[in-house]
Amino acid sequence: MLGIYQRGSVWWIRFSHAGKQHRVSLSTSDEAIAITEARRVLADPASALQLPTGWQLAASEFVATKKLKGATVRSVQNFEWQLEKARIALGADTVRDVTLKRLTSYRAMLADTVSPRSVREYWDYLNWFLQWCVKTGKLQTNPCASMQPPPKIKTIRRRFLSKEEIQRVMSTPCSLELRFILHCGIHAGLRKEEVIQARPEWFDLGAGLLHLQNYGAFEHNGKQHRGWQPKDKDARTIPLTVPFREFLKSFPFAGQDFCIAPGVTQGKASYRYDFRRPYYDHLTACGITDVTFHDLRRTFASQLVSAGVSLYKVAKWMGDGIAVAETHYGHLIPNDDEINKAFT
């Protein structure tokens, strides 16, 4: 049949509509089925152009594959947001509308509006999506592959609280829930998501241990909760510091499904519950305005390494690789007097 051709094992059709040349995947490797599908496309080209390669349908299918592979809720939301932002900026109704000219304009727009690090991040999301479109027969080639990707910009944030700042943060009055959150960050190095998902059974006060672990979907007080896994799907155990352990003895664990915001289920937002406002209000009251919650995790590691605790232990407690811990905290290792042995 005139106009159909194969790319790999998948049949495509080439035709003109509204003064433009179009190529549509017929989504089959069977020639007889391809001919039937091609006739349907030619009979109603306007509809056909929106079905197999419509950007939003393709993006939804792509995101669904990420969910099947175990992507976190936040990761899935990032893909959805990034791809919709790219679609609007590119003016693309279908994935075939992504041309080198549009990509060049899109990249220039990113360079003018976001940080260099974000330029590469946005580019990568688009590139991954278009690679998948090629793999699934929705595109012939990935136009991103014809361009040099933006450079990767890696920045290492080194802000952490001093001992004096820790004392100020922990001694300034605040709610019992926020005090739990602060202990989790400063005394256990938990990530924000880990604090939000923390469950009473993680805390073994008798043994003085915090067992951070995943859990499956469950129902409590008539509410259905999703399952959850730590980053990299690695459970870990962290010794409880004396101050944290003493605080937990008076913390109301009993009958709760979560340690903070019990009963709140995961909605469409990235987090089940977000303590951003009370956290920043508290730090402002302490006279500190440049410390994110993740900086408390850095504080935990930085203070331990500065005190001479091995990078190996710190990495294990944080759930990071040794190389990651060394890159971020190796410069804090205390002075070693052995350096003077050859010179005295």
> How many helical (H) and strand (E) elements, i.e. helices and strands, does the chain have?
14, 8
176 and 94 share a domain? no
Q: How far lies 216's CA from each of 127, 228, 229, in Å?
A: 33, 6, 9
Nearest CA to 49 out of 10, 83, 96, 101 is that of 96
d(CA 317, CA 198): 16
Decide if 219 is inside a domain: yes
23 and 68 share a domain? no
99 and 144 share a domain? yes
CATH of the domain at 182: 1.10.443.10
Q: How far lies 81's CA from each of 17, 259, 270, in Å?
A: 31, 30, 12
CATH of the domain at 100: 1.10.150.130
* Half-sphere exposure of residue 33: CA atoms within 13 angstroms, side-chain side: 8
* Half-sphere exposure of residue 324: CA atoms within 13 angstroms, side-chain side: 11
**pLDDT, one tens digit for every residue, the chain (344 residues):** 888 988 777 888 888 877 778 888 787 888 888 898 888 888 887 666 654 457 888 898 999 998 888 777 778 888 998 998 998 899 888 888 899 999 999 999 999 988 888 899 999 999 999 999 999 888 889 999 999 999 887 766 778 899 999 999 999 999 999 999 999 999 999 999 999 999 999 999 999 999 999 888 777 667 777 778 887 777 899 999 999 999 999 998 877 889 998 877 777 677 888 999 999 999 999 999 889 999 999 999 999 988 888 989 999 999 888 888 887 787 776 766 666 676 66
Phi, psi of 39 (to 5 degrees): -65, -35
Last residue of a domain, one of 123, 139, 155: 155
276 and 194 share a domain? yes
pTM of the model: 0.60
Decide if 341 is inside a domain: no
The 10 Å Cβ neighbour count of residue 227 is 10
At 82, the amino acid letter reads Q
101 and 147 share a domain? yes
* DSSP secondary structure letter of residue 102: H
Q: Are 321 and 340 in contact (CB under 8 A)?
A: no
pLDDT attached to residue 51: 47
Q: Are 329 and 311 in contact (CB under 8 A)?
A: yes
Q: Position of tokens 């509006």?
A: 113
Token pair recorded at residue 315 = 């990495």
d(CA 158, CA 179): 24
Decide if 265 is inside a domain: yes
Q: Position of tokens 């299918």?
A: 61
Decide if 342 is inside a domain: no
Torsion of CA 285, 291, 294, 298, to 10 degrees: -120
Q: Position of tokens 């179009």?
A: 22
85 and 213 share a domain? no
Torsion of CA 190, 196, 200, 204, to 10 degrees: 0
14: left (phi over 0), alpha (psi -120 to 50) or beta: beta
Decide if 339 is inside a domain: no
d(CA 37, CA 13): 9
Decide if 343 is inside a domain: no
Last residue of a domain, one of 104, 122, 155: 155
176 and 280 share a domain? yes
The 10 Å Cβ neighbour count of residue 304 is 19
25 and 120 share a domain? no
Instruction: Provide the number of structural domains found in the chain.
Output: 3
Q: Position of tokens 């990707």?
A: 149
Last residue of a domain, one of 52, 72, 92: 52
Decide if 337 is inside a domain: no
221 and 328 share a domain? yes
Q: How far lies 153's CA from each of 255, 277, 292, in Å?
A: 46, 29, 21
Decide if 321 is inside a domain: yes
Phi, psi of 115 (to 5 degrees): -70, 155
135 and 216 share a domain? no
Strand order in the sheet with 4-7: 4-7, 10-17, 20-25
205 and 287 share a domain? yes
The domain in which residue 301 lies consists of 163-332
Torsion of CA 167, 169, 174, 176, to 10 degrees: -70
35 and 119 share a domain? no
The 10 Å Cβ neighbour count of residue 149 is 13
